[in-house]
Structure formats: C-alpha cells, structure tokens
C-alpha cells in the first residue's frame, strides 16, 4: 500500500503540475493579449487626441491668418489715404478748408486701432507696439492737419518750406505704416509656409 500511495501521490502531483502549468501558460497568454488590446486602445486614444489637436491648431492658424490679412488691408488703406491727402494738400498749397479726407483717415485710424486691440493676442507684443506707435503718429499728424486747415489763424500758408515740411511728415507717417504692414506680411507668410 505504501508503494501505491507514493505512486498515486506522484500521479496526482504530475497531473497537478501539468494542470498548473497549463493554467499559468494560458494566464500569460490571456494577460499578454489583454495588455496588447489595452495598449492598442491607448494608442488609438492618443492618435485621436493628436488629430483633434492638429485640427484645433489648424483652425487657430486659419483665424490668425484671417486677422493678419484684415489688419494688413486696413493698414494699406490708411497708408493710401495718407498718401492721397499729402498729394491733395500739396496740389492746393494747403488753401482748401475741406477736411473730409483727414476725417476719413482719422476714422480709419480708429477702426484699425480698435481691430488691432481686439485681436492683439494673435500677434507678438513688439509688433503690436510698433503698429500702435505708427498709428498714433498718423492720428497726431491727421489731427494737426485738421487743426491747421480749420483754424482762423492758419499757421500754414503757401510758403513752400512749410508745405514741404508737411508733405515730408505725411510721407514719413505713411512710410511707417507701410513698414509695419510689410512686417505683418512676413508674419502671414510664415503662417502659410511661404518665404
């Protein structure tokens, strides 16, 4: 009976070890497969978040490009107005009291400044400050022109040197605006990938 018991215990141990080995092997396979499925799921989630981020970033670039384009056009229009005013004033030797062009330039200044302030976060601080300084110069010059044209004691006469000085100031102001406009164009080109 002792031999049979040992033989029986040996058979049970071999059977138990075999069954245990099979269970451990199957457990490893199941855990391995479930980890692969889990990792694949996580990779897919990361990929989805990456695509969502790219779409949001792309939309932000599109908005920024639109704002830069509108600001560029506004600065171009203001620059054109100043050039037109300069030519008009030079032609009539500052004798005209019509301040309509100057008022239009002042209004365009206000619109451009307001647009810039509303959309400041799309541009670098330094560029915004340069544009604002140019716009402020434009407003100061426009205000001086309006005052000079409407005052009873005109401080501008047909004296060629004074007319030339005003012409110079008008051109200088338009040139500053043009420089900022061209800098904006470079920012826009960077956005769309054109250099």
Residue 114 sits in a domain whose CATH number is: 1.20.120
Least confident of 60-69, 128-137, 153-162, 167-176: 153-162
Domain range spanning residue 163? 54-192
| pLDDT the model gives residue 111 | 93
pTM of the complete model: 0.63
Is residue 158 in some structural domain? yes
Confidence of residue 145 (pLDDT cuts 50, 70, 90): confident
Q: What is the pLDDT of residues 77-88, one digit of tens each?
A: 988 888 888 777
Confidence of residue 73 (pLDDT cuts 50, 70, 90): very high
Is residue 45 in some structural domain? no
* Percentage with pLDDT > 70 across the chain: 85
Q: Do 68 and 142 fall within a single domain?
A: yes
Q: Do 96 and 173 fall within a single domain?
A: yes
Is residue 48 in some structural domain? no
Q: Do 128 and 33 fall within a single domain?
A: no
Confidence of residue 162 (pLDDT cuts 50, 70, 90): low
Q: CA 89, 98, 131, 133: dihedral to nearest 10 degrees?
A: 80
Q: Do 61 and 28 fall within a single domain?
A: no
Give the number of domains in the chain. 2
CB of 68 closer than 8 Å to CB of 187: yes
Is residue 66 in some structural domain? yes
């Amino acid at each position: 009976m002792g031999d049979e018991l040992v033989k029986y215990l040996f058979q049970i141990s071999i059977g138990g070890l075999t069954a245990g080995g099979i269970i451990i092997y199957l457990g490893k396979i199941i855990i391995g497969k479930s980890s692969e499925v889990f990792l694949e799921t996580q990779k897919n989630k990361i990929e989805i978040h990456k695509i969502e981020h790219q779409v949001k970033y792309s939309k932000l670039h599109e908005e920024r490009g639109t704002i830069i384009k509108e600001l560029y056009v506004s600065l171009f229009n203001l620059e054109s107005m100043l050039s037109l005013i300069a030519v008009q004033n030079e032609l009539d030797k500052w004798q005209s009291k019509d301040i309509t062009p100057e008022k239009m330039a002042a209004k365009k200044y206000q619109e451009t400044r307001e647009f810039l302030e509303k959309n400041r976060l799309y541009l670098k601080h330094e560029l915004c400050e340069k544009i604002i300084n140019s716009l402020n110069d434009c407003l100061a010059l426009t205000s001086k022109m309006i005052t000079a044209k409407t005052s009873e004691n005109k401080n501008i006469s047909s004296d060629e040197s004074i007319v030339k000085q005003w012409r110079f100031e008008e051109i200088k102001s338009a040139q500053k605006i043009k420089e900022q406009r061209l800098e904006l164009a470079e920012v826009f080109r960077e956005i769309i990938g054109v250099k």
